[in-house]
Amino acid sequence: MNFLNGNFTIISKTLTGLEEVLRDELLLLGANNTKILKRGVEFEGDKRLLYTCNYMCRTALRFIVPIAVFTAKDENELYSRVKRISWENIMKLNQTFAVDGITSSSNLKHSKYIALKSKDAIVDRFREKTGKRPSVDTDNPKIRINIRMHQNQCTVSLDSSGDSLHLRGYRVRSSPAPLNEVLAAGIIGLSGWDMTESLFDPMCGSGTIPVEACLMAMRIPPGKYRRDFSFMNWMDYDKHLWEDITRFYDEQILTSPPCKIMGSDKNPRMVSIAKTHASSTGLRKHIELTEADFFAVPSPFDSGYIITNPPYGERIPLENSIKFYKSIGDTLKAKYTGYAAWIFSGDLEALKNLGLKATKKIPLLNGQIECKFQKFEIYSGSKKEKNQQN
């Protein structure tokens, strides 16, 4: 049963600050009529593009497909309009499902109630048609449905991704404060790294930045390690199309990255976790991972990109963090001439103490924490002298 025909609207969701880098990725994958939203991008595409985006897009958390839009001023209207949708063409009776609600500026003010009424409408439709009802599973549903009310306009969407796409499938060990994979891919994208220059994360923790960088440089699809996407449970799932897409992109994977990629951390446990993650992607031999104190060792390359996410947050008292960030600045000035250093941090006060002038500052959110991603170009003399040399 095909309920997705031709071109339709797709909404991709992402983290605050990554909207433009996501839009650029979607354009490269073939998206049409892109429109930037708050924490997302709306675009048009067909089923091939929907599957492709789920497999290939590094900076999206999920892709949802609106299937009905209507006005619902009260719960009865919501119930009857949701019940009118041909759910039997979308999902099977024996598949579990879950409904998420969200509401703003509408008569229906409670998102949980909106989800409950919609769930009742779906269940009742199946019961009337078949005498049986599908089961709800809020933890691990096969079919995920989003109901969004805004100014009494209801949009019913299907979530094509399922678990958030930052769950790539390679993170097999837990660690304190790992960077979200989508955020890591997003900051690498924002940095302008062209995948030919050496890339070094000197405080790599669980290895997210080097692993994401290596996946990009080798053109490995970020969805390669995931087994499950929600659209695979839809009635109109086209397995041949999916296999065709994955084959096409898998054939473009390079045998090695066209540059050096390295991570180090002073904590041996973190280095061991980073090595596990590099191994679980099959990239262990392409990423150099070492135990090292950033302040104590020489720079590994003559020039390149540093992209790093030093410690920040409640665990470090401000006084110490100011000293710590000052040492980062001093180390960069002393040992990293010729590098572009990008630092991602939520410690905005400490960032001011690096003693270097940022040439770019990009505000981002990490969860609820306001962060900045800042670029520092490390020249041998002053910037003026450098400009005169060119």
Ligand X SMILES: C[S@@+](CC[C@H](N)C(=O)[O-])C[C@H]1O[C@@H](n2cnc3c(N)ncnc32)[C@H](O)[C@@H]1O
Interface residues toward ligand X, by CB under 6 A: 175, 177-179, 202-206, 208-209, 265-267, 270, 293-295, 309-311
Residues for the chain: how many in total?
390
Which residue, 176 or 258, is less far from ligand X as judged by CB?
Answer: 176
Task: Give the CB-nearest residue to ligand X.
Answer: 205
Cβ atoms of residues 225 and 280 within 8 Å: yes
Which residue, 186 or 310, is less far from ligand X as judged by CB?
Answer: 310
Which residue, 241 or 316, is less far from ligand X as judged by CB?
Answer: 316
Whole-number minimum distance, CB 263 to ligand X, in Å? Answer: 9
Whole-number minimum distance, CB 291 to ligand X, in Å? Answer: 9
Spatial neighbors of 195 by CB under 8 A, at least 6 apart, are 213, 216, 217, 257, 258, 259
Q: How far apart are CA 151 and CA 141, in angstroms?
A: 29
Whole-number minimum distance, CB 173 to ligand X, in Å? Answer: 10
Which residue, 157 or 366, is less far from ligand X as judged by CB?
Answer: 366
Whole-number minimum distance, CB 323 to ligand X, in Å? Answer: 12
Classify 14 as helix, strand or coil: coil
DSSP structural state of residue 124: H
Which residue, 198 or 264, is less far from ligand X as judged by CB?
Answer: 264
Which residue, 87 or 312, is less far from ligand X as judged by CB?
Answer: 312
Whole-number minimum distance, CB 293 to ligand X, in Å? Answer: 5
Question: How many Cβ atoms sit within 10 Å of the Cβ of residue 76?
Answer: 10
Cβ atoms of residues 63 and 109 within 8 Å: no
Whole-number minimum distance, CB 308 to ligand X, in Å? Answer: 7
DSSP for 219-261 reads T--TTTT----GGGGSTT--HHHHHHHHHHHHTT--SS-SS-E
Angle 168-181-48 from CA coordinates, rounded to 5°: 50
| Encoded tokens for 367 | 């969860």
